[in-house]
Amino acid sequence: MRIMSFNLLCQGKDEHAMKNRRELATRTILENRPDSVGVQEATPDWMKWLTKNLPGYDYVGVGRDNGKKRGEYSAVFYLKEKFKAVDSGTFWLSATPEKPSMGWDAVCMRVCTWVVLENTQTGEQYAHINTHLDHRGKVAREKGIDLVLKKAAEFDMPVVCTGDFNLFEGSELYKQLMGGVLRDTKYLAPDTMKNATFHHFEVLTDDVGVIDYVLVNDRVKPLVYKVVTEGIDGKFVSDHYPVYADVEL
């Protein structure tokens, strides 16, 4: 089973404008065919494009600005021929997570979307959590991590967690993220690689700029971890590389 995290870049400009990248983004998803993919910076325009051009996928998620269709989504898309959503929700990374709200020292609203997916053939279930932590507020990231880890610990089943966490490996925030029930597939998968995930439209081969993660609990066995650096037709799809893990439940 393949789990992907993909920061789409909300708009972009000039040659990196959304209109020049949107087909590349859907091709990336279709060619890698994740069972479920957590997207970040998915504006309403992106959501319209994705839902139209990924006919084999359904999704859960809401816009962060009003809990409906306004603002960026941290949606989870899943293969609808293989899975059905049996439970789902979105909470805000704030002191009032049940309603649209700004968290602590964040510069914008941040959300976490989750879904319990059931294999329609086997009945096997897993939870997919997806989020995008604030890029400025350290307290917002600390508190946001607490909320995400709390949610992950609630599930008595295999859990995968994707996201742009806006924190680097080895940082105190990374140590906090690893202090709960989740672990980094990069260091668990026997077939793995080291490469930056945030590149800002420059070719990066080191692993300094890793801020996008695929995490799992101890009921998931990672087999492969990959940063999708190839692009499409030699073009960057976003300012982040998509990341995926192949896993067994």
Q: What is the CATH number of the domain that holds 37?
A: 3.60.10.10
pLDDT tens-digit readout, 44-66: 999 999 999 999 999 999 999 99
Residue with tokens 């077939």: 191
DSSP summary character for residue 156: S
% of the chain residues with pLDDT over 70: 98
For the segment 145-167, the average pLDDT, to the nearest whole number, is 99
pLDDT tens-digit readout, 97-121: 999 999 999 999 999 999 999 999 9
Mean pLDDT of the chain: 96
Reference 21, options 3, 36, 4, 6; nearest CA is 6
**Beta-sheet strands, E only, within 71-185:** 76-79, 83-92, 111-119, 125-132, 159-164, 183-184
**CA distance readout (Å), 91 to 23, 118, 133, 219, 240:** 30, 21, 13, 24, 24
pLDDT, residue 61, reads 99
Residues 6+ apart with CB under 8 A from 25: 6, 8, 49, 50, 237, 238
For the segment 75-91, the average pLDDT, to the nearest whole number, is 99
Contact 222, 188 (CB under 8 A): yes
pLDDT, residue 139, reads 98
Q: 36 lies in which domain range?
A: 2-248
Reference 64, options 102, 23, 120, 7; nearest CA is 102
Nearest-10 Cα torsion for 52, 58, 61, 65? 10
pLDDT, residue 140, reads 98
Q: Give the number of domains in the chain.
A: 1
Contact 39, 9 (CB under 8 A): no
